[in-house]
Structure 1
Amino acid sequence: MVERADKKPVITQEMIALYDDYTHLSLDRRKFMDSLVKLAGSTAAAAAAATMMAANAKAQDMLPETDASIAHETVTYPGATGEMQGYLTYPAGAEGPLPAVIVVHENRGLNAHIKDVARRVANEGFLVLAPDFLSPLGGTPADEDEARNMFGQLNAPETAANGVASVDFLKTHQRSNGKVGATGFCWGGGTVNAIAVNTPDLLAGAPYYGSQPAAEDVPKIKAKLVLHYAGLDDRINAGIADFQAALDAAGTDYELYIYEGVNHAFNNDTSEARYDKAAADLAWSRTIELFKSVLA
């Protein structure tokens, strides 16, 4: 068993690749843990490694809901085929219309971490909506594994249409200046790309390590894009070359950044093993700069 001096197991790239396969492809926890035990050397070390790679639902928020500078509320609005639920947040006491941003969750649904991210964007001077894309299935459950399993039940065209409905909701909101951008992470990054394909009303997109749209759909994108990828994320990065070629051919306004030496989900500060503060801070500054330059 490989351990650090503080008795925590060393997280290898092989372990992270195994975790990525489990959370995005197999969804088979027993198979994942059996394989992780072999890599970690013991059941105890495997359990510790799994905890370090997973997102910690109890991790402290960077911007707590109790912060008086930020207002927030639960909202509902019309979706493609039914009611959508979401988390709306904005600077408390803000006067005048605000530029608007959608924050799209990972494949665990609208959880506390994504609400925290939404508040961080709001703190930069934006009206922010974090939609619950599991709304058609009753909304995000408390159990992370249950939530992850629900994503396979979603209909991709309906999900994209619900993203367009979220843009429409923010564009016409009384607190909005009518200009809407979007950012999202993992599953949410791919969803931002899908929203960009499906509506010209999305003016700016900053997807993080998201799956790429089909090359033939890229000319439909009218938003300015800032694309964030992790250098060690072989699964997602396999689609970069074709996406970039399609963007260039279409004349799309975009910037593409690959953060070397970091893993998929490097922005998620609730994951001890995968979070990379330097990369996350740099990507965040580029994301906020995009929204302030395009949406103000």
Structure 2
Amino acid sequence: MANEARPVPCDIGDRFEYGGLGYEVQVEYIKAYVCKPSSSTEKAVIVIQDIFGWQLPNTRYIVDMLAANGYVAICPDFFVGQKPWEPSDDWSTFNDWLKTRDTNKVDREADVVLKYLKEQCSAKKIGVIGFCWGGSAVHHLMLKNPELKAGVAIYGKFKIHANLSRLAYVSAACSSNLYCI
């Protein structure tokens, strides 16, 4: 599992060749990928990308899969135009890169996306799932945002926090070997 010493235990893995079923939208100052189910719903899921960014086909596949299961799904660019990590980037510069992409500073973007989902997609029950970097953002958002009904963090770095009771009921933290806490 990711930890303070090694905040990102993942590499890009196999990159899918996938075009996607959804479409890109501009949500105020944030670009996002959205896919909607074939029938109307009041359920939505925010998908938070890993370090490789919101345009990764693998992540868009997850968004489309959620839509196929009856959810409005959206993957916003939580880096807000900043360059995602590239597999060829020099890992010795990773900590400097990460300092400008703080998972504890995603509240404003989350609020913009929540507003979009409620006003433009009629969502009333909204959850969040994040991978790697996005998993850490999920932990933060679940502690801070009561509008989110459920959260799943897939191998996101976890910091001990005084208010863990909220996580105990609505968030699952899974490491890359699928051990959930």
Both structures adopt the same fold (TM-score exceeding 0.5)? yes
**Which residue in 1 is equivalent to 2:67?**
122
Give 3-state SS (helix, strand or coil) of 1:174's partner.
Answer: helix
Give 3-state SS (helix, strand or coil) of 1:122's partner.
Answer: helix
**Bigger Rg, structure 1 or 2:** 1
Match of 2:109 among 152, 162, 185: 162
Note if contact 1:86-1:131 (Cα within 8 Å) is conserved in structure 2.
yes
Higher helix share: 1
Note the 1:42-121 alignment, pairs <5 A: 54-57=12-15, 59-61=16-18, 64-65=19-20, 70=21, 72-78=22-28, 83-91=29-37, 94-110=38-54, 111-121=56-66
Note the 1:1-296 alignment, pairs <5 A: 24=8, 54-57=12-15, 59-61=16-18, 64-65=19-20, 70=21, 72-78=22-28, 83-91=29-37, 94-110=38-54, 111-135=56-80, 138-140=81-83, 143-145=86-88, 149=94, 150-170=97-117, 172-219=118-165, 224-231=170-177, 258=179
The verdict on how the C-alpha distance between 1:156 and 1:126 changes in structure 2, with shifts beyond 3 A counting, is: closer
Paired with 1:142 and 1:152, the residues of 2 have a C-alpha distance of 13
TM-score by length of 2: 0.76
TM-score by length of 1: 0.49
Paired with 1:120 and 1:88, the residues of 2 have a C-alpha distance of 11
Gaps of 5+ in 2: none
The verdict on how the C-alpha distance between 1:125 and 1:176 changes in structure 2, with shifts beyond 3 A counting, is: same
Deviations 1:99-152 (A, max 9, x none): 1001111111112211111111111111001011111xx244594445x85433
Amino acid at match of 1:198: K
Note if contact 2:53-2:85 (Cα within 8 Å) is conserved in structure 1.
no
Gaps of 5+ in 1: 1-19, 26-52, 232-256, 260-296
Cα displacement (A) at 1:24: 3.2
Paired with 2:50 and 2:104, the residues of 1 have a C-alpha distance of 18
Cα displacement (A) at 1:183: 0.8
Cα displacement (A) at 1:221: 5.1
Which one scores higher on RCO, CA 8 angstroms, separation ≥ 6?
A: 2
Paired with 2:137 and 2:47, the residues of 1 have a C-alpha distance of 10
Paired with 2:59 and 2:45, the residues of 1 have a C-alpha distance of 13
Amino acid at match of 1:196: M
What RMSD, in angstroms, separates the aligned Cα atoms of the two structures? 3.2
Give 3-state SS (helix, strand or coil) of 1:194's partner.
Answer: helix
Give 3-state SS (helix, strand or coil) of 1:216's partner.
Answer: coil
Give 3-state SS (helix, strand or coil) of 2:120's partner.
Answer: coil
